[in-house]
Amino acid sequence: MKNKILKIFAIIGAIIVTLYLIGLIIGIVSGIQKRKNDELNYVPTLQEKNNPVAITVTNPTSGIYKAGQEVIIEAEFTENVYGGENQEVITSETAPDLYIQFGYVSSYSKKMSFKQVNEKKIQYTYTLKDDDVGILVIMGYKGIVYNKDGKSIEVQTRNINGNTITGSGLLVDKVHIGDYVNYDASSGNGTGRNYTTEENSTGSKVATTFSSSDDMKWKVMNIDYESGTITLRADKQTKQELTLSGKKGYMNGEEVLNNIGAVYGYGNGATGGRSLTIDDLDKLNSYKITETAESDTAYDKLNGTKYITGTFLAEDGTEITASIDNTVTMSYTQSTTSKFTNKPITCSVKLLGANSFWLASPCIGIYNDRCYYCFRSVYNGHLSQEYLFETTGPGYANTKSYSVVPVITLKANILTSGRDNENNAWDLIIE
């Protein structure tokens, strides 16, 4: 009898264990299915790390704007948001702080003003200032909001969505001497521009072509705040060389050099081009006198020298033969722009290192028995001059070949959208 009772209890126990296991299996299967259903129907809540869902520029439309334009940005959440545990309305005091920046190289960010809250969305506003130049980006979003159940969440910064806003300003108010500017000589009317030298102008049979498509980068050389214009120079000399020779080279050299520089002055935003001069170096304070061939006193003694032999040139190119009955007097003047009486000097030049290039600045060297008709140059880092012919006879013509440094002027009060993030050069807005 006892054994029969034990068998009955064993059977009952086995049945209970079996039912438990069956229930456990059913529970596990149901749980898996529930999680699957939950994943399919899942909606992020305020407690999730992905809040806000988006930070979006809603006004104005994508484009470039000047100071005074209002920008509206919305921070959107997955559910209604509040300023406190008891569903308090968000105010300027309780709204999270939204920080923005214009341009990728700005040194500081700016705080937007709270505008209003509309259920899931918090609106912010900002009015562009004169110094807001470049693309608007989000720099930070800091603070706490609450859901309807009083649960809080620290907001997370998000990349900006919606319209792309670029602030602009006057380039003349932004740049400094030596800054790079993204000027393209081959853009706009500069497309396909070139200039080929001719023997009739240079005195040399060597013909060289200069093109607006030449690889050039441009640096700010001069800023005229009164007129709003900016002068740029190439940051290196041309790869091609200009050859000048003899009287033709001297008489036409300035025009030829400026014709070469003009090739690079037709791009979008430019008003023209020319070649670098000695006056440009003087304005840049880029050279200092290290030595002179003779003292100023010696030069002063040569001032007003009279010649009774030799072939000289009038300003119109007419040849004048000196004689006892037709003396030629040569004098220096104080004007640094005088074509025919600039005093030759030798100086150390910091511009472009030890490279050599022409300057569109003619000069004459006066000596006791002759004069040298020259063009200014920078030779191996020193300001110098190259004579093209001397007055003692036609057999003393000279030929020289140097590169050219183009100079261009931008339109007055041209706008910029800031510096690019790649090479830190200022971008131009061409209207």
pLDDT in tens, the chain (431 residues): 545 555 555 555 556 556 555 555 555 555 555 554 444 333 334 555 546 778 999 999 999 999 999 999 999 998 899 999 999 999 999 999 999 999 865 557 899 999 999 999 999 999 999 889 989 999 999 999 999 989 888 888 888 889 999 999 999 999 999 999 999 999 999 999 999 999 999 999 999 999 999 999 999 999 999 999 999 999 999 999 999 999 999 999 999 999 999 999 999 999 999 999 988 988 887 777 665 545 455 566 777 888 999 988 887 888 889 999 999 988 876 555 556 666 666 678 888 877 899 999 998 888 888 888 999 999 888 888 899 999 886 657 899 999 999 999 999 989 999 988 788 899 999 87
Please indicate, yes or no, whether residues 336 and 208 belong to a single structural domain of this protein: yes
Pairwise CA distance, residues 327 & 312, whole Å:
11
Structural domains counted in the chain: 2
Please indicate, yes or no, whether residues 109 and 248 belong to a single structural domain of this protein: no
User: What range defines the domain where residue 73 resides?
Assistant: 54-167
Nearest Cα residue to 387 out of 200, 246, 206, 292? 246
Please indicate, yes or no, whether residues 212 and 351 belong to a single structural domain of this protein: yes
Residue 364 included in any domain: yes
Please indicate, yes or no, whether residues 163 and 277 belong to a single structural domain of this protein: no
| pLDDT in the model for residue 368 | 85
**Radius of gyration of the chain, Cα coordinates, nearest whole angstrom:** 39
Please indicate, yes or no, whether residues 244 and 352 belong to a single structural domain of this protein: yes
Give the pair of three-digit tokens for residue 103: 């341009």
Please indicate, yes or no, whether residues 373 and 227 belong to a single structural domain of this protein: yes
Give the pair of three-digit tokens for residue 280: 């440009």
Residue 256 included in any domain: yes
Pairwise CA distance, residues 305 & 302, whole Å:
5
Residue 5 included in any domain: no
| pLDDT in the model for residue 37 | 46
Q: Tokens 């800091």 label which residue? A: 142
Residue 267 included in any domain: yes
Phi/psi class of residue 269: alpha, beta or left (left: φ > 0; alpha: ψ in -120 to 50)?
A: left
Q: Is the pTM of this model over 0.85?
A: no
Nearest Cα residue to 52 out of 162, 159, 148? 159
Residue 321 included in any domain: yes
Beta-carbon contacts of 151 under 8 Å, excluding residues fewer than 6 positions away, are 46, 47
Amino acid in the structure at residue 323: S
Pairwise CA distance, residues 150 & 88, whole Å:
10
Amino acid in the structure at residue 74: E
The number of beta carbons lying within 10 Å of the beta carbon of residue 268 is 18
Amino acid in the structure at residue 377: S
Q: Where are the beta strands (DSSP E) in 278-425?
A: 287-291, 305-307, 311-313, 319-321, 328-330, 346-349, 357-366, 371-379, 382-390, 399-402, 406-410, 415-419
* Rounded-to-10 torsion of CA 339, 343, 345, 350: -40
Give yes or no for a contact between 410 and 272, defined as CB atoms under 8 angstroms apart. no
Please indicate, yes or no, whether residues 89 and 155 belong to a single structural domain of this protein: yes
Please indicate, yes or no, whether residues 160 and 200 belong to a single structural domain of this protein: no
* Rounded-to-10 torsion of CA 241, 211, 216, 240: -10
Pairwise CA distance, residues 349 & 370, whole Å:
28
Give yes or no for a contact between 374 and 233, defined as CB atoms under 8 angstroms apart. no
* Rounded-to-10 torsion of CA 316, 319, 324, 327: 20
DSSP string, 84-110: STT-PPP-TTTSPEEEEEESSS-S--E
